[in-house]
Structures are given as structure tokens and as C-alpha cells.
Amino acid sequence: MKGIICYFSTTGNTKLACERINSKVDNVEFDYYDITSSEEPNFSEYALIGFATYTDYLEPGKLMTMYMKSIKGNGKPAFVFNTFGQMSGNTLGIMAKTAKESGFKLIEAHSLHVPENYPPLIKNGTTNENFPTSKDLVSFNEFITNLNSISKQLDSGQTVPEKSVRMKISVKLIQKIMGGLNMDEMGVKNVHKNQCVSCGICSKVCPYDAIKMVNDYPVFDESKCESCFTCFNKCPTKSIYTKKLDGIGHYPKPHANLVNKMKEV
């Protein structure tokens, strides 16, 4: 049976976890769709759709919610999945709700605790590099086992029960406090021109098309920026800086611990 995982992964943690899901769910052969790319998949080719994102200020990465709202499920079975570094908040709840509102039938959902890629926290020493714990890996495996059996049921024409994910009301309060502290603001971005090698990676990786290369250097459109830190994390010479962060806190790719743990799954 063919499936597709539509993913939003700024630094690779979520993508890596999706690759493990794909290699372990033996009844489904998944294609991948990076939702930051322009080519749209043809959903009619797939019997199972997955949506996978990272947690972004206690919610799904904004582009994922926008994408899920823009497509039609027509009753197709779907699962939602996210990685997070600290507190998943309502990521899964919002993804589940959005999938249902777009007409998908939700059949599974899971959140995986992984290393932190949020530079302000990494700068303060909160890397969470030892996540997932062995307990987290057991529940990730259970999710994969469930996906396997559900896909077999779907393949044989059986009806699969719809999954529900509860919203956590307390998250709204935490978001209010975080908003008050301005935690969701990356602030104005600049580039150290003496360090910048004009590779244009920042412009290519920006999910919101907020960076243009002008005269070989990035120019940031602050009105489009969603403070996802992808440009900051991915800059190979650590040349992008803000008032609060300069040369520290980067997470360019999945932590080696996570890479090794995903091999064990």
C-alpha cells in the first residue's frame, strides 16, 4: 500500500523520525513531501496520508497549519505526528483538529520528545540532547506498531476507528505568558558581512520566503518572518545574528544522539 508523509522540518529532527516511521511500517511504502517545496503531491495515488511537523511555540509549525487548511481530505485516512524539544503544548491537538476540518479521517497521532533546536534555549544550556528517553522510544515504537496494524486493516478493507486528540486548555494561558515575554519574537536579523560567504542557503531554506539575496548578501523582510530560526540555525558560517543571539545556540542538523537512537528504533 502507498502512503505519503507531508512534513515540515526546519533542522531535520522531524524528517529523521519520519524516515524511521517509513522504514518500520512494513505494510506501507511512504513517499515524502516537503511542504516548503513547490511541487504538490497527487493525493489520489495514496491510501494513507501522514502530516509531520515540529512544535513551534506550543503549536504546529505555522506553515504546516496553513498547508493542512489548504487541502481537501475527502475522507482519506491520515495520521499526525510531531517532534518537540521541551513541551509539545497543543501541537498534536491542533493538527488533529485541522486534519478533521480538512476532511481527513484521523487514525493515529503521536508526539516524540527529541533534542531542542530553539536557539534561545540552547544558548541557556537547555539542549535536551538526551531525549528521547527509552520510555519515549517505547511509545514511539507502539505508535509504529499501531500504524502497521491499522494499515493492514485498511488494506483489507476493514473500518478503522477514528482517533481523537484532546486540546489542553492550560496551554492558552502559557502562550499568553510567553507572548507577554515576547518569546515568539526573533527580532531584527542582521548579517556579519565579513563572515557571510554569500552562499544563499538562508534564502533557500526560509520557509516563508522572507529572505532575498541582494548584492550577494541576505536582506530580511521582517513582515514575512515567522521567527522560525531556520536561517539562523542553517547558516554555515553563523553569520546571521539578532540583538539577543550572536554566534551561539545553533542547531544545524539532528543531534548525533538522536541519529543513533533512531537507528535503534
Residues making contact with ligand FMN (CB under 6 A): 9-15, 54-58, 83-89, 114, 116-118, 227-229
The residue (of 122 and 150) whose beta carbon lies closer to ligand FMN is: 122
Three-class DSSP category at 85: coil
The residue (of 85 and 218) whose beta carbon lies closer to ligand FMN is: 85
- Please, what is the minimum distance in Å from the beta carbon of residue 14 to ligand FMN? 3
The residue (of 59 and 108) whose beta carbon lies closer to ligand FMN is: 59
Q: Are strands 2-8 and 48-56 parallel, antiparallel or unpaired?
A: parallel
The alpha carbon dihedral of 191, 192, 193, 197 has a sign of negative
- Please, what is the minimum distance in Å from the beta carbon of residue 27 to ligand FMN? 25
Q: Determine phi and psi for 132, rounding to 5 degrees.
A: -75, 150
**What are the DSSP calls for 46-60, one per residue?**
-SEEEEEEEEETTEE
Three-class DSSP category at 231: helix
- Please, what is the minimum distance in Å from the beta carbon of residue 129 to ligand FMN? 11
- Please, what is the minimum distance in Å from the beta carbon of residue 220 to ligand FMN? 15
Q: For the chain, how big is the Rg over CA atoms in Å?
A: 19
CA atoms of 211 and 217, how far apart (whole Å)? 10
**178, amino acid identity:** M
- Please, what is the minimum distance in Å from the beta carbon of residue 105 to ligand FMN? 25
- Please, what is the minimum distance in Å from the beta carbon of residue 174 to ligand FMN? 9
The residue (of 3 and 12) whose beta carbon lies closer to ligand FMN is: 12
The residue (of 46 and 251) whose beta carbon lies closer to ligand FMN is: 251
The residue (of 151 and 230) whose beta carbon lies closer to ligand FMN is: 230
CA atoms of 216 and 128, how far apart (whole Å)? 36
Q: Which residues have a Cβ under 8 Å from the Cβ of 171 and sit 6 or more positions away?
A: 58, 89, 90
Q: Which residues have a Cβ under 8 Å from the Cβ of 74 and sit 6 or more positions away?
A: 103
Do the beta carbons of residue 240 and residue 232 sit within 8 Å?
yes
